Amino acid sequence: MQAMEKGRYRVRPAETAADLDAAQRLRHRAFAADRPDAAPGGRDADPFDDRCTHALVEEIATGRLVCCFRLLPLADGARIGESYAAQYYELSPLADFGGPIVEMGRFCVDPATRDPDILRIAWAALTRHVDATGVKLLFGCASFKGTDAAAYLDAFAMLKERHLGPKRWRPRVKAPDVFRFAARLRRRPDARLAMRRMPPLLKSYLMMGGWVSDHAVVDAEMDTLHVFTGVEVGAIPPARKRLLRAVAE
């Protein structure tokens, strides 16, 4: 991933052990700090970190880390079983997906920071990377905070109504605890409430024509509900592509 600057922020790849440590500490603050068993100043780390490129979004003026994510490149769908998501989803339907694919994971923004420009520059950097490497599919796990599905029923109903993945690619159930929202929900979504409860990262995927699995995994360890999310780069609406590339210039 190439470094870039836009407005108050820059994106760059992690280069040192200290960079990775900073990303893991930010991930801990974003994902685990409010859990009763969380250790203050802890780190969120797993074996996939060593295989990924880590992107850091920093304030230019202060060098403060405000966002991070990681990318796991795979040659094609035949390698998708090596991904983080494959621990939770049976992904064999995607094995025939041709061309380079990349998993984006552990995306988080500093909980103390509220600036939409952070998400914009992160997607701009990702757009540059996708264009430079010819990626055909971007995928990952988009997370809802907490494990109570009742808090997100309108959001899940909207996912069922408008955003389920194509049957030929759709992941199958693998995790022991899942919420099968596509099969269980019989409600029409309240669109305003659904979008209010939809995670910001998932909103970004959906605006690019992204699609989701028909079930959510209940991840008690991370205290989240997450859905497999895919974006086929060739299917991104032209207007959205133009906007992404304009920000990336």
Average pLDDT for 94-117: 94
> pLDDT digits over 15-65, tens only?
999 999 999 999 999 988 666 666 667 899 999 999 999 999 999 999 999
* Nearest Cα to Cα of residue 169 among 97, 248, 79: 97
Mean pLDDT of the chain: 94
Domains in the chain, number: 1
What's the confidence (pLDDT) of residue 58? 98
What's the confidence (pLDDT) of residue 31? 87
Average pLDDT for 222-230: 95
Whichever domain contains 229, its CATH number is 3.40.630.30
What's the confidence (pLDDT) of residue 127? 92
What's the confidence (pLDDT) of residue 36? 61
pLDDT at position 249 over 90: no
What's the confidence (pLDDT) of residue 221? 86
Average pLDDT for 148-157: 96
Domain that residue 44 falls in? 4-248
What's the confidence (pLDDT) of residue 245? 87
Average pLDDT for 134-146: 95
> pLDDT digits over 161-213, tens only?
999 999 999 999 999 999 999 999 999 999 999 999 999 899 999 999 999 99
What's the confidence (pLDDT) of residue 241? 86
